[in-house]
Amino acid sequence: MMPRIDRAASERAGVELEALDRVRDYQPGCRLEWQGSEALFDHLWHVRSRGLVSAGTRRSEEGRAARELGLVNRFGALSETGSEFVAIIASATRSLRTRIESEKGTHHAAIWVNGRRAAMRVELGDGRVGLGATSVAGAVGHLLDWIAVEPTWFVGEQEAVTVPLAALQARYEEHGGQSALEVPAPDNPEWFRRAWEASGWRSVFGWSEETGFGIFAIDVPGFGWLERYTQTDGAVSLRPIRTETVVRQVIGAVTRDDR
């Protein structure tokens, strides 16, 4: 059966884009169990080996938040739930660090894996983080949602385009969109000229030292994903890839299996 085409997105991009509008209906969402300030994670790590915690630490903003979330007991020490989260990190056999760069700034996510369990820390913006202990498969789903894979992708092969590395970086650096537009896009192909004029470009990079798997993709909202190859002359080659490729990269980086 032929894929259903997203007419509005295709007209905007100048190439056919498959409609995947129901994909997000089936995604669980990045609803990590615990959310708080960026200091919440540091607090849990700080009290990880303590049976008793000082009153000042217990009554701190992070201490109260951890207590409300059930991550510490009334004495300020880690609860069973908090202990599981920290234990996964302390004994992790592999980890994955991911960052998203865009005009809105840079945000980071970390996944630690021990056996079939994973602990996660993701930056949600505005100084907030999401924490959680989940299955390895659950970590894949949460990371996909955090990356926010857009439900459109290129149909068919598109030719690669070469642009200066500095111009590309300006597309997704914080407040860098205007400077990027000072570098004109190549006249051809048409799809790239239109994509270059779009706002909201994001660079997604993730790497696991232990497994050698990673995530390397650029998101152009409304157009799809690009992969990049850095050349020796300070230029970058960009080529459209299917969203499936990005999903496989995420799966491989978390599970070591990209099949």
- pLDDT-based confidence at 122, cuts 50/70/90? very high
* Every domain of the chain and the residues it spans: 7-28+149-255, 38-91
- Which pLDDT band holds residue 26 (cuts at 50, 70, 90)? very low
Tell me the average pLDDT across 96-112.
94
Distance CA 40, CA 190 (A): 47
Q: How far apart are CA 66 and CA 202, in angstroms?
A: 32
Region of 131 (left: φ > 0; alpha: ψ -120 to 50; beta: rest) is: beta
Lowest mean per-residue pLDDT among 10-24, 200-214, 242-256: 10-24
Structure tokens that stand for 251 in this block: 């799966």
